[in-house]
Structure 1
Amino acid sequence: MIKMIALYKQPENKEVFDEHYFNVHAPITAKIPGLRKMKVTKIVGTPMGKESEYYLMCEMYYDSHEAFKEAMKTDEAKASGKDLMGFAGKLVTLMIGEEIDG
């Protein structure tokens, strides 16, 4: 299984970010064909008790690299990407990961 990971830095206005992320962006993203699971983690701090430079992480799971590539060609994925760049383009880093058992 592979996943796309979206890691967001701290937004200037967390309430505005959360409103858009949870009520607009996440529902758009959830409609992407082939998306098996979406997990969102709010970063609450560092092990040293400080505020993290990161605010939120979203993991979007797909069956395979091929399934992911096909999903990214869809209108739903394009809508998600367009929305992402519009509200969090300067905050987000996107990565592709492959889960390893063990």
Structure 2
Amino acid sequence: MHQLTVLYPEPVDRAAFEAHYRSVHLPLCAQLPGVQDISFAIGIAEPGAGPYFAVFHARFFDEAALGAALSSPEGKAVQADVANYATGGSTVLTYAVESLAAEK
């Protein structure tokens, strides 16, 4: 598995970020070819209490699938949309994911 994580610092307007993110950006993300799972959290810290306001995760089968998704027309649309809501910018990380079975 390969994961894409996006960390979002505090935006200028939390409500505007969330409205655009939920109604426009996440539906674009759901169209990424090869995406296997998407998860996110908004409002993970109170204003001034932490470095990040929101986090996004998307999993792909492997690095090649992630690269293909990002270079696709859908991936380019996702990337172009970030400036429309992420007034605090964003940090993008991609990495291989390992799993560990939990003991029961």
Same fold (TM over 0.5): yes
Residues 40, 59 of structure 1: 8 Å contact kept: yes
Identity of aligned residues (%): 22
User: Residue 4 of structure 1 corresponds to which residue in structure 2?
Assistant: 4
Over 3 Å counting, the alpha-carbon distance change for 1:61 and 1:89 in structure 2 is farther
After superposition, the Cα gap between the structure-2 partners of 1:60 and 1:81, relative to the gap in structure 1 and judged at 3 Å, is same
User: What is the Cα deviation at residue 98 of structure 1?
Assistant: 1.6
- CA drift of 1:99 comes to 1.2
Note the residue ranges of structure 1 that are not aligned, 5 or more in a row: none
Q: 4+ residue runs of structure 1 moved beyond 4 angstroms?
A: none
**Where does 1:72-87 land on structure 2 (aligned, <5 Å)?**
72-87=70-85
Which deviations, in whole Å up to 9, do the C-alpha atoms of 1:15-52 show, x marking residues without a partner?
A: 00000011011101110110111100235339xxx721
Q: Is the 8 A contact 2:11 2:88 kept in 1?
A: no
What residue is the counterpart of 1:39 in the other structure? Answer: 39
1:43–1:52 Cα contact (<8 Å) kept: no
Q: TM-score w.r.t. structure 1 length?
A: 0.87
Is residue 70 of structure 1 aligned with residue 68 of structure 2? yes
Give 1:57 shift: 0.4
Corresponding residue of 1:94? 92
CA–CA distance in structure 1, aligned partners of residues 11 and 84 of structure 2: 14
Q: What is the TM-score with the length of structure 2 in the denominator? A: 0.85
**Residue-pair matches, total:** 99
Q: Distance in 2 between matches of 1:37 and 1:92?
A: 20
**Matched residue, 2:21:** 21
Kept in 1: contact 2:2–2:95 (CA 8 A): yes
